[in-house]
Structure 1
Amino acid sequence: MSQSADFMELKEDDIRAHYAAATAMLEGVDHTPRIAKAKEAPAAERSSGIGTRRRFRSTTPGLVTRSTARPEGVRLIERIEGVGDDALPSALQATTLQALRRALAIGLTVGDQFSDATGLAELKRENLEGRLSDSKKAEFTDLLAAEALAVLFSFANAASYLLASHATETTVEIGGVEEVLTDNAQLALHGALWELDQDLAIFADEDAKTVATLLAFTEQLMEKASLRAANTPRLEPFNQASYRVEADDLTINGFTPARAAKGSKLTMTFKKPNEVVGNHIAKYQSMKLAKMVMAYDFERKLNPFADLGGFIFTFMGDGAPGTGKTTLIQMMAGLMSGYCETAGYPFRYQNLSTDNIDSYQGKSGQNAKAFINNVIDPNVIGFGTIDDIDQLAGKRGDRQSSAGQLEITAVLMESFAGANTVVRGNCTFGMFSNYPENVDDALRQRAGARFLVDGPQTRDDYVDILNLLMGKNHDIPLGDFEPFAAQEIKKAVAASFDSHAKPHEEGLLKVFDKVSGEIGELDTINKLGTYLKGIQEADHRFTGRAIKNITDAVKVRAMDFELPDEWMEEPDLFLFKDYDTKLGMIKELRQPITVEMVIQEINRYADSEFRYADKSDEVAVANMVREYGLTEEAKRRYLESKG
């Protein structure tokens, strides 16, 4: 992958110049903890005839201690090579130490770049020479703290990235990282290595756990450094820079974790588009979206569709149980996986399930954030799904929502439309639910597109699905029927879109008839805006975010074309073109926006909101009726017991 002009190269010679200092830190540093406390390792069980592990061997005869703290200092090389019973270090131990040394060197190199860019290097010289003026002391202190956080995060980021390929199914829970110091970069690294040594002593009793402990530690260190950075001044030069390490294919973008461009192996059963019966608009938009994502440019880190405003970053598919939501996921994941395999792109699919809800405070939010970060990784094509989101994400104000569910809701809301959300166009998220009315209103409105998964509708749909599911192991004749003719996508989609010329939901239809009766045909921006205001008066939840989602959907309709199949089958025709060429090819296919499109998209979106609101209100009323009934029954029994 060639280097972009937006990147600031970290030269290999500069990185290797720090190898000696990095090696010295791994050999041994003295550090007295200032925030964290020494951790206690569990007592080791001993059996006769089994020797003690060399990393816990006491140098004082007869002395037994459980503390992981080393009075003689922190020696990570000895700590890591001491894992296991072999007298010689393993290949993985050597690889791990090489990765740690390189990560430390990268962090120190980033610190040099930051110092040069901010004038900190000159302030350090003045301080050493005793000529730092009082007027500069505050600036000097702030810059030292900023550099410390930049170096800490870059070290953890690089270590996590370099060790990612050695991860296994083994995981450990180390808790939070506490010894995060910001006096200066060197002290910050010493504190981090001291705490890492503590965790390794407790958790790393085999090589797989050594890597797992390191990865868990670097994740926690990155998170803590990012949180501290939010309230630390003078970090703009680091936040705005993109440092590139060409030899490792690593890019450091501020406090955003880098992820190794590694795809996930899918074991799901894929479905072909003709195996999805009914659901015409949802199927059509899913097929379009699968190809849209493939237009992502890995050099520019941007998708032309996102640039033009016709990209679906989040969508919600809702429908009754058994209408085909899982089948739709299998179809879309299968298409994207196949396209990526043809193009040689890494593809990463991940599902956020109820298994990610954890009883430990904060862990559910961490699981959700890890899910988001894995999918949005700009080095891969990503597809994230949240099936049964009504069970996974809690509704604020609902007493039945657990703390873990509310944590997930907060993470998803911030990630899908937060202040720091960046839509590059390399991934998309699908939220699916049988009961979307139980999803928090604000989270539901962060779904930019709505896919109504209503399953088979017509007689032809039911014949098609019966024929499909019956298979071939029978002799029952098909009869006078052309299989899958009703599933011809363009014809079916056109009919589906046309059906939204008028609303489907009764409440919205009353608004439509009232407004159009007063002002006539909705054929101008003024009249369309009046219709939108009428919807808002009928449902206060119809806010400015709803208008944005509608206009985004209209822009998608302007892209109402499917990229030719041959562009996916032969990557040289489109996928491997440079960004500007792909942008031009897409612009040529773009269609003009019409009034009919706008009305249809207003009705499609508002129909879904009215449908959700009606169900949500009905559920709320039913719950209140039940509670009143329970209260009355409790009063009756109480009075009987007193009598």
Structure 2
Amino acid sequence: MSMPRDEMELKEEAIRAHYAAAGALLAGFDHAPRLAKALAVEPAAERSPGIGARPRFRSTTPGLVTRSVARPEGVRLADRVLAVGGDALPGPVRASVVQGLRRALAIALAMGESFAEVTGLAELKKANFEARLPGQRSAEFSELLSAEALVVLSVFANATAFLLAPQAGEVTVEVGAVEEILTDNAPLALHGVLWELDQDIAAFANDEARLVAVVLAYAEQLMEKVRLRGESAPRLGAFTGSAWRVAADDFPIAGFAPARKARGTTLSMAFKKPNEVIGNHIAKYQAMRLAKMLMAYDFDRRMNPFAEMGGFIFTFMGDGKPGTGKTTLIQMMAGLLNDYCKVAGYPFRYQNLSIDTVDSYQGKSGQNAKAFISSVMDPAVIGFGTVDDIDQVAGKRGDRQSSTGQQEITAVLMEAFAGANTVVRGNCTFGMFSNYPENVDDALRQRAGARFLVDGPQSREDYIDILALLLGSNHTIPLGDHMLYAAQEIRRAVADSFERHGHPQEAGLRAVWEAVEKRQGRLDTIAKLGTYLKAIQDADPRFTGRAIKNITDAVKVRAMDFELPDLWMEDPELFLFKDYDTKRAMIADLRKPITVEMVVQEINRYADSEFRYADKSDEAAIDAAVRDMRRMEEAKRRYLEGKG
């Protein structure tokens, strides 16, 4: 496999040279915990009478001392892993875990060796071993040893998560924060984290599924903890400023960034077909088009032509009353993506950030949200992330009812959706759904580039269609005078829905529209449209520049208002497997010009939603104030009666 031009190869012979040291670490060593508290776990049982009770691993690195000064605790991680489940014969999963850990350790040690050569640490170690290290360089030596320890820990955790990803199942385990991170030198650092991993396996892994979940959870926690340490640690430029790849595993190393295996998720949800979504015409249409847009992603270029040309929906907000079909919309879009990816052979990953993510442990909620974002944005997969009931999951800033965990999630989502480091590749999309969008933080809500009004069935025809759909076929009731599902014909329904937004729907926005139209006449120039936007901002100060960006993005989506032919999804050779430039040219041929009607409709659609949120928020606040006043009146009445 050829290396990308900006990556160096971490040689296979250098990695295999560390297999013996990695195997010795797994076989056994002594470690006295310094930062973490030992759990009440049994020592790992020996697997053979021929193996000593406490095999020792001692570093052969010149100039380093790793001897423990407290009572040692024997760690035999390989024995611990192979004994999970109580089966005397090692199964393939347990064997894979041991092999993966050995490989990850060898890669980490090879990376540490490379780092030492590049930074001059190897020479300083030799000088220290020979007692000729200059005193003025002792501080540099200590800093480089600490930097090497962080490099080795990061690569070990990263490689472990990458190599064992194919073994992951649906089981998840919470192992808590990693504590035994020692940065005196690399060997001691590995002793600390392997000791703690041994503790977690003993405490949480009672079968093979949980074993893999524990190791992966520990690796994720260790990666994050080391990354945070690395942000302020000195002398790491040689590691963070370069990139390597292990060709045999196709494992990239780019500083502290996690390298995630291209692994999809096994979905157990009940998928819905588009004809099973009644009403919600614009939302359904945009979700169907977005699913096809995602499939245009080019895995070699790691970019989507739609994201480059404009018209890609990275984030969207779906709001509506309870029972109007938000969950059904999610099931439909996930089902479409799942089917398309199966045809193309692409890995598809769906993740939902739910209320269970909010944790009382400080910082844990933010970590959960970051893991969710990283998993969905993985450029090696097609990703779809949802935040259902986002008004409960993410807190509104300044709201005293929001917990610290909810506030952490809000901060993470805001940074991920429109932060300084956000890169929209076009391989994933995020949908936020709520029955009460007015309770979502204003800045977070405005990071939703598109608005899907999920208002459910509206017309008489919609209600007949949904009744017939839900009744099924186990009856003999005649249909009557009705063309079943004719009202759900998507093109006609969407055209009607967009035309309705030629004029505002909300009373507050309608007043602004009428005032501007009276002064300016028909809104048919950019100057007049800009005047209308300014008038909306005067009426609602929350209507900022971000709102204009979201509107123009929506207009660009309308310019891409065409269906990628179904045949392109059914036969990958026709489109999906084309090179990036060919796909871009095929899409460009279908693009439509932007019209005044499109701009007006998208301004009104977006502004209507903001006015709707504001009205609902004001009404909720007024209702709460009225309830408070009534309670006070009743309290006064009872107080006066009791006093009399």
Regarding TM over 0.5, the answer is yes
Task: Tell me the alpha carbon deviations over residues 537-593 of structure 1, each in whole angstroms, 9 at most, x when there is no partner.
Answer: 211211222222122212212221121111100001111112222222222222222
**Deviation, structure 1 residue 389:** 2.0
Q: Distance in 1 between matches of 2:241 and 2:590?
A: 35
Conservation of the 8 A alpha-carbon contact between 1:41 and 1:201 = no
**2:301 partner SS:** coil
* 1:116 shift after superposition: 5.4
* AA at the equivalent of 2:560: M
Q: CA deviation at 1:102?
A: 0.6
1:99 positional shift:
0.9
C-alpha contact 2:104 2:156 (8 A) present in aligned 1: yes
Structure 2 counterpart of 1:15? 15
Which SS does the other structure have where 1:421 is aligned?
Answer: coil
Inter-CA distance 567–139: structure 2 relative to 1 (3 Å threshold): farther
* Alignment match, 1:243: 244
Alignment-mate amino acid for residue 25 of structure 2: M
Write the distance in 1 (CA, Å) between the matches of 2:265 and 2:546.
33
Cα deviation code 1:226-279 (max 9, x no counterpart): 221222345455445443333323333433323332222223222222222222
SS in 2 for 1:248: coil
User: Do structure 1's residue 571 and structure 2's residue 564 form an aligned pair?
Assistant: no
SS in structure 1 opposite 2:385? strand
1:602 equivalent in structure 2: 603
Distance 2:129 2:533 in 1: 66
- What is the Cα deviation at residue 498 of structure 1? 2.4
Matched residue, 2:225: 224
CA shift in 2, pair 1:43/1:317, >3 Å: same
- The 2-side partners of 1:339 and 1:616 are apart by 40
Distance 1:253 1:604, change over 3 A: farther
Distance, in Å, in 2 between the alignment partners of 1:305 and 1:222 is 33
Return the offset for 1:638.
4.7
Tell me, yes or no, if the aligned pair for 2:341 and 2:347 is still in contact at 8 Å.
yes
489-498 or 606-615, which moves further after superposition?
A: 489-498
Matching of residues 153-552 of structure 1 within 5 Å: 153-168=154-169, 170-204=171-205, 206-239=207-240, 241-552=242-553
Cα distance between partner residues in 1 of 2:187 and 2:530: 59
Which whole-Å CA distance do the structure 1 matches of 2:351 and 2:632 have between them?
44
- Could you give the per-residue CA deviations for residues 469-506 of structure 1, whole angstroms, max 9, x where no partner exists? 34334444444443333322223222222222222111
Larger deviation: 223-232 or 350-359?
A: 350-359
User: 1:101 is matched with which residue?
Assistant: 102
| Structure 1 vs Structure 2 CA RMSD | 3.2
1:63 equivalent in structure 2:
none
Question: In 1, are the aligned partners of 2:45 and 2:79 still within 8 Å (CA)?
Answer: no
Preserved contact between residue 278 and residue 456 of structure 2 (Cα < 8 Å): yes
State the alpha-carbon separation in 2 of the partners of residues 27 and 540 from structure 1: 65
Does the CA contact (< 8 Å) of 2:387 and 2:431 recur in 1? Answer: yes
- Where does the alignment leave 5 or more consecutive residues of structure 2 unmatched? 55-69
Letter in 2 for 1:263: G
Question: Match of 1:64?
Answer: none
Change (3 A) 1:246 1:196: same
Tell me the amino acid that sits aligned with residue 429 of structure 1.
F
**Contact residue 29 and residue 73 of structure 1 kept, 8 A:** yes
639 and 459 in structure 1: CA distance in 2 versus 1, 3 angstrom threshold:
closer
| Structure 1: gaps spanning 5 or more residues | 45-51, 61-68
Q: Could you tell me which residue of structure 1 aligns to residue 58 of structure 2?
A: none
Counterparts of 1:617-628 in structure 2, within 5 Å, are 617-628=618-629
Q: 1:82 to 1:280 in 2, by over 3 A?
A: closer
Could you tell me which amino acid in structure 2 is paired with residue 21 of structure 1? A
Q: 1:101 to 1:628 in 2, by over 3 A?
A: same
Q: Does structure 1 retain, via aligned residues, the 8 Å contact 2:45–2:80?
A: no
SS in 2 for 1:460: helix
How far is the alpha carbon of 1:176 from its aligned partner?
1.1
CA distance in 2 between counterparts of 1:296 and 1:99 reads 31
Shift of 1:442: 1.8
Distance in 1 (CA, whole Å) between partners of 2:477 and 2:452 is 35
Alignment partners' CA distance in 1, 2:30 and 2:11? 30
> How big is the shift at 1:614?
0.9
**Shift in alpha-carbon separation, 1:327–1:84, aligned structure 2, 3 A:** closer
Q: Is the contact made by 1:173 and 1:216 (CA closer than 8 Å) also made in structure 2?
A: yes
Q: Secondary structure at the match of 2:232?
A: coil
The 1:483–1:81 alpha-carbon spacing in structure 2 relative to 1, beyond 3 Å, is: closer
Q: C-alpha separation between the residues in 1 aligned to 2:42 and 2:16?
A: 41
Shift of 1:88: 5.7
SS state of the match for residue 341, structure 1? helix
Distance 1:126 1:227 in 2: 31
* CA distance in structure 2 between the aligned counterparts of 1:455 and 1:203, rounded to whole angstroms: 45
Structure 1 distance, partners of 2:37, 2:460, is: 71
> Would you say the 8 A contact 1:4–1:299 is kept in 2?
no
3-state SS, counterpart of residue 447 of structure 2? coil
With the length of structure 2 as denominator, give the TM-score of the two structures: 0.88
Letter paired with 2:415: E
Tell me the distance in 2 between the aligned counterparts of 1:239 and 1:25: 27
Contact kept, 8 Å, 1:390 with 1:438, in 2: the verdict is yes
Distance 1:266 1:204 in 2: 24
TM, length-normalised to structure 1: 0.88
Check the 8 A contact 2:41/2:202 in 1, yes or no: no
- Residues 467, 364 of structure 1: CA spacing in aligned structure 2 closer, same or farther, 3 A cutoff? same
**Amino acid across the alignment from 2:275:** N
Partner of 1:77: 78
Mean CA deviation greater in 108-117 or 587-596: 108-117
C-alpha spacing 1:70/1:512, structure 2 compared with 1 (3 Å): farther
1:489/1:122 Cα in 2 relative to 1: closer, same or farther (>3 Å)?
farther
Question: Closer, same or farther in 2 for the Cα pair 1:642/1:59, shift >3 Å?
Answer: farther
More displaced stretch, 108-117 vs 332-341: 108-117
More displaced stretch, 471-480 vs 428-437: 471-480
Q: Is the Cα contact below 8 Å between 1:4 and 1:300 reproduced in 2?
A: no
In the alignment, the residues of structure 1 paired with residue 561 and residue 344 of structure 2 have an alpha-carbon distance, to the nearest angstrom, of 24
Secondary structure in 2 aligned to 1:553?
Answer: helix
Read off the aligned partner of 1:427 and give its amino acid letter: C
How many aligned residue pairs are there? 626
Cα deviation code 1:581-636 (max 9, x no counterpart) = 22222222222223322222111111111100110111112212223333444455
| 3-state secondary structure, aligned to 1:300 | coil
Q: In 2, Cα distance between the equivalents of 1:99 and 1:156? A: 11
Q: Secondary structure at the match of 1:382?
A: strand
Whether 1:27 and 2:4 are equivalent positions in the alignment is: no
CA spacing shift, 1:423–1:144, aligned 2, 3 Å: farther
Q: Which residue of 1 aligns with 2:60?
A: none
| Alpha-carbon distance in 2 for matches of 1:401, 1:73 | 46
Q: CA deviation digits over 1:24-57, x for unaligned, max 9? A: 33234454444x144130699xxxxxxx9559x9
Cα distance between partner residues in 1 of 2:426 and 2:464: 38
Distance change in 2, residues 1:127/1:519 (3 Å): farther
Structure-1 separation of matches of 2:530 and 2:238 = 43
Amino acid at match of 1:246: A
* CA pair 313-139 structure 1, distance change in 2 beyond 3 A: farther
Cα distance 1:303–1:113, how it changes in 2: closer, same or farther (>3 A)?
Answer: farther
Residue aligning to 1:612:
613
- Give the letter aligned to residue 17 of structure 2: A
Compared CA separation, residues 394 and 625, structure 1 to 2 (3 A): same
Q: Distance in 1 between matches of 2:390 and 2:286?
A: 20
